[in-house]
Chains A and B, each alone.
Chain A
Amino acid sequence: MKKNKINKEIKIGFVLISSYLLWAVAWIVYSHFIKGEITSPYFPESDMTKELLRPGVNGFMLGTDIYGRSIIEILSAGLAYSLGISFMVSFTTATIGIIVGYLSVTGNQTIKILSDLVINLIFIFPSILIAIMVMSVTGQSFWGLVFALVITGWPGYAKIARGETLRVMNISYVESARAVGVTELRLFTRVVIPAILPLMMVHIVLGVSGVIISEAALGFLGLGGSEYSWGGMLAIAKSVLLEAPYIVIILSVVMAGLIIGLNLLGDGLRDYLDPRKSFSS
């Protein structure tokens, strides 16, 4: 196999994502072991006497929000929450997508038609609206949010997985494996998955940034699953834009950094896997 060069996008994206992951881990350690207990982790609490302190005042590095919570603490809690939910949702949606995509290629006629229809339909749906509708029925709950994001997220993966499965099915070693009578399950887990996984990883990385944005959008509309949703914090910060514009700016920049990192990593990986399609260098 030809060796491709690790490009600039992957390097910058990797460094950015690693720093955010380290930050999240540091926060989890801090909130679960240092300041709190494993059974009752520490969460930033409101203290109205300290509302809207400027960065640097009273030892608050980034100041406080309108409830008097330290901004660096709510940012950290939001990061851990945001990463947790987006990894969980992306992993679930990708798994469903790969299985449905595979079945839509190898299954019988009924399965094929049915999965094609469902995938195409939900794919052109305005997914955030569906998520809003689901959240308005379940109310603001963590699992409602996961359900809403999963149900709108998997068709994108299924569409890609179907295309990829079709492609690898025609590669000679896959044909050989089928010819010697490898069982369906073994073919799927040992032959097809390893072949389509690299490209799926690219879409999972880009998908994580999509979930982070969708989750924040729902949080912004008041349909988040936690009070530590970055979107919810932005909605609150927006109301004090006149008095404390720095809150919106800090939140936006931190969020944008994470999204830039994921997008760079995803784009870079795609170019790395398929340099012919790369026009970015």
Chain B
Amino acid sequence: MESSVRKFLYSLFTMFLAVSAIFIILRATPGDPVEKILGPEAKEEEIVKYREQLGLNESLGDQYKNYLVGIVSGEMGKSLFKKKDVTVLIKKHMKPTIVLAFVSISFATILGTVFGIYAGFKKSGLFDNTSRIISLVALSFPIFSLAPILVYIFAIKFNVLPVSEWGSFAQGILPVLTLVIPLSAVIMRVARNKLLEESGAPWVQVLRSKGMSDLSILRRLSKVCMPTILNVVAIQLSVVLAGTMITETIFDIPGMGLLLFEGIQNRDYPVVQGVIIYSTVIYMGVYFIVDFVNEKIDPRISA
């Protein structure tokens, strides 16, 4: 119990550092956001007004203080373009992103684990060899090239699935598929290699020589592989987060990714900053939860 509290405090501290790092990187980046927003023909008074609105005219220390207070209290400024609070916009766009990421991660974990363990169990068999080539190819098509290809195949060529909008089950299939393909390929490779690594262990040989059936051994082996697989899922979370955002822009899903994309196009600096801070905090929260669950099922990590 005490270690859980310590871990929780530690993750809060890491989040604080992460949020501070974003501040430092933003201020250390060459270039002036106000000039970027207004363009080269901006008048002097306009620049001064915008600086004031963004709080960039204060001292660095005050900016940092306002920045931290803003994040905690949820006051992240107003969108320059939509004239709404950034926090309100983010709350509105959060749900599709979370649903999409959660569904994709669940499917990919199940598919990747089952296929990977089966491939490793029947090593060098037809399934193993085919799936290895397929996973290599799947990993070589980044999401933004995979998605248009899937759209072409399923929506244009065979016309079986809708392309854009969001809400119905059928509309969710292509975006989820886009995210599941690369993620399950990664998980599959890891699951397969971990299974092969473990199947040479002495305890497996003992069970085998005592006459335990292949299926029972496989069940025990799969259990041993789970922490490794979950760990990969945790590491892949940031890839999934970025992937979800890119997928949203392709399929017009009104999530955080689309909000970010519109923010970039409209040079809506507060929105871009807000989306990135919020998604970093959410991402880190999920990362720590997965890490925590992992520790519970595998006592070796905490030892």
Contacts and interface: CB of A to CB of B under 8 A. Distances in A.
Contacts of B280: 125-126, 129
B156 A241 contact: yes
Contacts of A221: 246, 249, 261, 264
Interface in A243-281: 245, 248-249, 251-252, 255-257, 259-260, 263-264, 279-280
Interface stretch (A32-40, A130-138, A195-203): A130-138
A160 interface: no
18 contacts: A121-B17, A126-B283, A129-B242, A129-B276, A133-B25, A136-B267, A137-B31, A144-B29, A213-B142, A216-B144, A217-B142, A217-B144, A235-B144, A245-B156, A251-B145, A259-B142, A260-B137, A280-B132
B105 to A, nearest CB: 14
Nearest to B261: A221
Contact of B144 (A125, A136, A144, A220): A220
B3 interface: no
Contacts of A264: 136
A138 B279 contact: no
A133 B144 contact: no
If over half of B's interface residues share one DSSP class (helix, strand or loop), that class is named, otherwise mixed; here it is: helix
B272 A263 contact: no
A124 B264 contact: no
Interface in B1-30: 14, 17-18, 21-22, 25-26, 29-30
Contact of A124 (B132, B148, B261, B284): B284
Nearest to A144: B31
Interface residues of B, number: 54
A157 to B, nearest CB: 16
B276 to A, nearest CB: 5
The 5 closest A-B pairs by CB, nearest first: A252-B145, A126-B238, A256-B140, A128-B242, A138-B31
Contacts of A252: 141, 145-146, 148-149
Interface in B187-203: 192-193, 196-197
Given A138-B30, A249-B152, A279 B193 contact: yes
B21 A122 contact: yes
A127 interface: yes
A118 B4 CA distance: 23
A130 B246 contact: no
A147 B26 CA distance: 12
A133 B30 contact: no
A125 B145 contact: no
A263 B140 contact: yes
A222 B280 CA distance: 21
B269 interface: yes
Given A125-B21, A255-B142, A217 B151 contact: no
Interface string A96-127: 00000000000000000000010001101111
Nearest to B272: A136
Given A217-B246, A221-B246, A255-B145, 5 more contacts: A125-B21, A133-B25, A144-B31, A222-B261, A259-B140
Which interface residue of B29, B139, B140, B151 has the most chain A CB atoms within 10 A? B140
A137 B33 contact: yes
B287 interface: yes
Contacts of B31: 137-139, 141, 144
Which interface residue of B26, B31, B137, B246 has the most chain A CB atoms within 10 A? B31
A133 B22 contact: yes
Nearest to B260: A132
If over half of A's interface residues share one DSSP class (helix, strand or loop), that class is named, otherwise mixed; here it is: helix
A263 B139 contact: yes
A122 B36 CA distance: 26
B25 A126 contact: no
B250 interface: yes
B229 interface: no
A133 B26 contact: yes
Contacts of A127: 238
Contact of B152 (A132, A141, A234, A248): A248
A281 to B, nearest CB: 9
Interface string B151-174: 110001000000000000000000
Which interface residue of A137, A238, A242, A264 has the most chain B CB atoms within 10 A? A137
A151 interface: yes
Nearest to A138: B31
A90 B73 CA distance: 39
A89 interface: no
A234 B148 contact: yes
A223 interface: yes
Interface string B272-293: 1100100110011001000000
A63 interface: no
B201 to A, nearest CB: 14
B128 to A, nearest CB: 10
Contacts of B287: 124
Given A129-B241, A252-B149, A231 B264 contact: no
B145 A256 contact: yes
B257 to A, nearest CB: 9
Nearest to A267: B136
B30 A144 contact: yes
A221 B249 CA distance: 8
B269 A241 contact: no
Contacts of A129: 238, 241-242, 276, 279-280
